[in-house]
């Protein structure tokens, strides 16, 4: 059996004890706040660097470029990247295919050690990676820290899960035989992550693929390629052989489509919008000349997520949970609460309380750590304002609704609340992906559950209620992949809350769960007759 030796100055690592989630940083402590400020200065001095494509370990430049810009200060270039075109797809896939020939046979301990080495590097540079997230996608300190912590969690969790999977056995040993069940890698995969969790989701999908023995062509979002380039640096430092991950920013319409349709692409792991996810699914389903397998798609798409607040709920907790879930990272999460469904007896007081709470939110440059930063780009800002205009016709605007002018011309918009919205209104049904909350009145709990289930999505949801019977009904009837009781509907924790949704929210892939790695493998049963 061929092996791949990891060559690195970092000592190979093994999992230490049971998995534990990476602790969040307490920025109220002076030392942590100062460390973050220092990291912002250091990373600020590194902005504007040009990054190459990495294909089979070779650095390449292209005539066309992608510029990643700070959404709070659009004149500030975070990184300049090469723009892979359709002509690079075959080169990248072939490089990954060559690496797969040996990587698939690398001992599981070596693949696991690669991920653990990467987790160690990131943990020791946590503030630096937080700073990159502040500059590239506009996360405030808390949101950036959560993204980095989740990245470490994925690397640590999937390492342990890979070891568990490698020890799989058949349910029984048939008399007179030696029976074996092995989960073997699929081959070359396309990993296409989003910009909103550009570290955690990107690293999570990539690490799940490679720890199970696959190789990857990584096409990061054009809004967040720099953090992916920095992750490539980590993987190389951790000992990744050339070609196991190939770094190729590029257009989805050219490079992305060519990658998905390539006959040697065995699987596609994607997180993003419903429209792009369905297009990928359709393209992957069409068999190409020379293709000898059915391509697998692992899709996590959009959401139109609801929090139900029952008349018996703790109002303080419910208001805080709704506002946090609606406006954290400016509502740019597929899990964000974009609909609050409120039982009629408490509707008016809830609206008043939300309006008062939203008025206290601060908006500004995320480097200064406000509650909300910018939306990711100019197109996103236009989309949000367009939906606000629609919402003004479909309901009553009680907070926000306007862009915020800044000297740096950042993409800022006020946190917006629209009330008295009908369950079938456009802002009740369409994913906005911005800081816009629709509040819907329900005559009772039956109506609230019916409204919560009335969209094509099924990603996250929450219920605030002190009534155990109501919670049990929601457990049975609220059709979402991630359901929370008496807490917000964002903030899934690796291991505790396997993440993925139903219906048009995706393939229920359950990232961070015990069955996620199965999606990157195929089961092989071997029976040997004993002589």
* Cα distances (Å, whole numbers) of residue 64 to 192, 253, 481, 488, 500: 20, 15, 40, 43, 35
Which member of 248, 334, 337, 489 is catalytic? 334
The answer to whether 225 and 54 have CB atoms below 8 angstroms apart is: no
Cα separation of 203 and 332, whole Å?
19
Cα separation of 264 and 278, whole Å?
20
* Cα distances (Å, whole numbers) of residue 167 to 163, 184, 334, 453: 7, 12, 34, 40
Q: Is 51 exposed, middle or buried (0-12, 13-18, 19+ CB in 10 A)?
A: buried
Structure tokens at 57: 């370990």
Cα separation of 495 and 179, whole Å?
30
Which string of b and e fits 433-466 if b means at least 16 CB within 10 Å? bbbbbbbbbbeebebbbebbebbebbbbbbbbbe
Backbone phi and psi for residue 188, each to the nearest 5 degrees, phi listed first: -90, 130
Distance of CA 86 to the CA centre of its chain: 25
The answer to whether 409 and 357 have CB atoms below 8 angstroms apart is: no
Structure tokens at 12: 């190979």
Which member of 22, 300, 343, 431 is catalytic? 300
Give the N- to C-terminal CA distance of the chain in Å, as an integer.
25
Cα separation of 229 and 199, whole Å?
10
Q: Which residues, other chains included, contact 89 with Cβ-Cβ below 8 Å and sequence gap of 6+?
A: 217, 255, 258, 259, 262
Instruction: Examine the residue annotation and report whether 430 is marked as an active-site residue of this protein.
Output: no
The answer to whether 483 and 328 have CB atoms below 8 angstroms apart is: no
- Pairing state of beta strands 457-458 and 502-503? antiparallel
Structure tokens at 24: 């969040």
Q: Is 351 exposed, middle or buried (0-12, 13-18, 19+ CB in 10 A)?
A: buried
Cα separation of 433 and 302, whole Å?
9
DSSP label of 80: E
Q: Which residues, other chains included, contact 18 with Cβ-Cβ below 8 Å and sequence gap of 6+?
A: none
Instruction: Examine the residue annotation and report whether 334 is marked as an active-site residue of this protein.
Output: yes
Write out the H or E segment, with its range, that includes residue 225.
helix 225-238
Cα separation of 195 and 332, whole Å?
10
Structure tokens at 472: 């049990």
Q: How many helices (H) and strands (E) does the chain have?
A: 15, 23
Q: Which residues are catalytic?
A: 300, 334
């Amino acid at each position: 059996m061929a092996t791949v030796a990891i060559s690195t100055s970092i000592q190979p690592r093994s999992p230490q004890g049971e998995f534990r989630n990476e602790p969040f940083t307490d920025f109220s402590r002076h030392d942590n706040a100062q460390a973050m400020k220092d990291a912002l200065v250091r990373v600020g001095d590194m902005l504007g660097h040009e990054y190459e494509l990495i294909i089979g370990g070779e650095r390449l430049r292209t005539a066309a470029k992608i510029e990643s810009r700070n959404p709070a200060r659009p004149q500030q270039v975070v990184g300049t990247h090469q723009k892979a075109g359709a002509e690079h797809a075959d080169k990248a896939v072939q490089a990954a295919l060559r690496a797969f020939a040996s990587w698939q046979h690398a001992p599981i301990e070596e693949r696991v050690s690669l991920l653990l080495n990467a987790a160690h590097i990131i943990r020791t540079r946590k503030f630096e990676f937080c700073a990159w997230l502040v500059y590239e996608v506009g996360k405030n300190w808390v949101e950036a820290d959560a993204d980095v912590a989740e990245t470490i969690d994925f690397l640590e969790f999937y390492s342990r899960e890979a070891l568990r999977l490698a020890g799989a056995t058949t349910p029984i040993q048939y008399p007179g035989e030696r029976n074996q069940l092995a989960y073997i890698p699929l081959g070359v995969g396309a990993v296409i992550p989003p910009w909103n969790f550009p570290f955690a989701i990107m690293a999570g999908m990539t690490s799940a693929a490679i720890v199970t023995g696959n190789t990857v062509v990584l096409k990061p979002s054009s809004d967040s390629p720099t953090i992916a380039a920095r992750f490539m640096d980590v993987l190389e430092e951790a000992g990744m052989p050339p070609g196991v991950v190939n770094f190729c920013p590029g257009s989805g319409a050219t490079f992305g489509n060519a990658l998905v349709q390539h006959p040697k692409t065995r699987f596609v792991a994607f997180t993003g919008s419903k429209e792009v996810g369905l297009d990928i699914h359709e393209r992957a389903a069409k068999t190409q000349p020379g293709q000898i397998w059915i391509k697998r798609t692992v899709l996590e798409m959009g959401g139109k997520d609801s929090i139900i607040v029952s008349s018996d709920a703790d109002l303080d907790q419910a208001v805080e949970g709704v506002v946090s879930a609606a406006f954290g990272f400016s509502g740019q999460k597929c899990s964000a609460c974009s609909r609050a469904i409120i039982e009629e007896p408490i509707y008016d007081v809830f609206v008043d309380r939300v309006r008062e709470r939203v008025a206290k939110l601060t908006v500004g440059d995320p480097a200064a750590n406000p509650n909300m930063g910018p939306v990711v780009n100019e197109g996103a800002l236009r989309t949000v304002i367009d939906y606000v205009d629609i919402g003004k016709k479909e309901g009553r605007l009680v907070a926000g609704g306007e862009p915020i002018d800044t000297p740096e011309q950042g993409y800022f918009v006020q946190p917006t609340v629209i009330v008295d919205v009908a369950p079938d209104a456009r802002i009740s049904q369409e994913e906005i992906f911005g800081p816009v909350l629709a509040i819907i009145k329900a005559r009772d709990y039956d109506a609230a559950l019916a409204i919560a289930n009335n969209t094509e999505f099924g990603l996250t949801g929450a219920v605030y209620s002190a009534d155990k019977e109501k919670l049990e009904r929601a457990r049975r009837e609220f059709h979402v992949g991630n359901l929370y009781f008496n807490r917000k509907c964002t903030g899934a924790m690796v291991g505790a809350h396997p993440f993925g949704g139903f219906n048009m929210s995706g393939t229920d892939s359950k990232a961070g769960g015990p069955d996620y790695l199965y999606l990157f493998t195929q089961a092989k049963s071997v029976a040997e007759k004993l002589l």
